[in-house]
Structure 1
Amino acid sequence: MTDHRTGGAWDLIVTPWHLDEHIPAFPIPATATQVIRPALPAGPTPARMSLLHRAALEAVTQAARPLVLSGDCPTTRAVVAGLQRHHRDLAVLWLDAHGDFNTPAISTSGYLGGMALAMLTGRTPDLFDDTLGLRPVPDTSVVLADARDLDPAEHEALTTSHVRRVPADPAAISSALDQFGPIPVYLHLDIDVIDGAQLPGARFPSGPGPSLAQIEECLAAACTTADITAAYIACAWLPEHVNDQTSRQTITRLTAALGANLSWH
């Protein structure tokens, strides 16, 4: 196993989609190694997402150390399925203002983007086909940081789960990751974990929260503590804001905290 705590190059993969909707304005760094743009036929959203996720899976499987920039959270399915082809055990660090722990049975909106972590832990078995070969990640292998904005039923589901919840604090994250030992860790970050005042144009702003600088410290602490074998940043801005200068600067700072150096066209 390669231990990435000493650094290591990232393979930058961009999936400029929100669910099954392509985001034409999504910023593509010059340093991107692959951009996922499959042709999706008309059809139900889950079926279209399955095709997108299969394309992302192939890119992730070929990458030595994938760093994914995406417009949503559910494409995480493809990343974890790809990692599971190389790693028998995998832990997940999930930084998000939301829990993403809704399921079709408890969601008040039916929004698939709010189910991404539930998807990884095997709680949405009937949403998609099984062509990814995704194995459910045990609750005990998941750390959820922040999650300050939860629906009532989602809060109850998390409370009765074995997912470990911690604040978005570098020391708390390091302590939680220490308990996993040497197994590789997949790091997932939704930008809305950052204080809403610092995120103009966020798709789902969640009000006061940790600063961008504090989240940078969390990412750096995770990379120092654990073998971060892959990372994912959900760039959940509204389409008309995702390519703003401030949005690009935020992406640049977050990826730099992970040890990646982005350059833009």
Structure 2
Amino acid sequence: MTRSAPFAQWFAAVPSAGFHIVLQGTCWLLPPRGEPVALGPGDVAFLPRGSAHGLADAPSTPVSEPPPMPTGVHDGRGAEASADRPPTVAMLCGGYLLDGSAPHPLLDDLPEVVHLPTRVGRHSELRAAVELLGVELAGNARPGSDTILLTLLDLLLLYILRAWFEEQRVSGHAATGWAAALHDPAVAAALRAVHEDPGRQWTVEELGARARLSRAAFARRFTHLVGQPPLTYLTWWRMTTAARLLRTSDAPVDTIARQVGYSSQYTFAHAFKRQYGSPPGTYRNHVGRSTTPA
């Protein structure tokens, strides 16, 4: 996206996590609450809950909330950059479709706007992902571009989250919620085991062994930091994984059930309906296939 001053563009609230990355120039992000955020070259702004917001060349440029518009269409007060109007800002903008019925608690710990200003020597992985995205989007359609873009967008999200938590640690803010869980070596080891192999028939004892804690000590620590007991979280992660596979693959329901640890399709369907309100087949037909938008 390129814009020439003066401009003020409104982005309505959406059920997705959005991001803006400044490639060239400067602009301001106008949140619905709080002070405007100055964005410069290399800055990343991440909105984990898809909050309504504006982008403008200056905080004083008028922007008012537009009437409801079709999805993907925004009110752009200002002109696209052209030969006669050199760009004030060039940005990479995108979003991630979220499963609103089972949001990850990690996103709840983030502020409405995550601002990651560019700093020399900091967050090199995030900068590399941004540069690679720019290369893929700037070039002509080349073999594998769609797959590469999807992979880079997934990496971008992970690097944004990693950078945010590193910023909190460096600034001296005590980790809370999921940030504390991820920074706790014992709990992080158990989470990594569950995420890598949700289909395994984990027990609290096994997960405690991964964490190098006794069963009781591990259960108390995990529940305190994650907010739910280990096996409750395991079930939640299995259903979250199953929902993603139903949305993004054509694998039969019984195959997905086995992948997430259920030998009985009936037991799997019952557990899935308890979390999502509908059986797996109905859920798949309702949501259809989805991909991460660029």
TM-score by length of 1: 0.31
> Quick check: which has more Rg, 1 or 2?
2
TM-score by length of 2: 0.29
More helix per residue: 2
Tell which has more relative contact order, 1 or 2 (C-alpha 8 A, sep 6+).
1
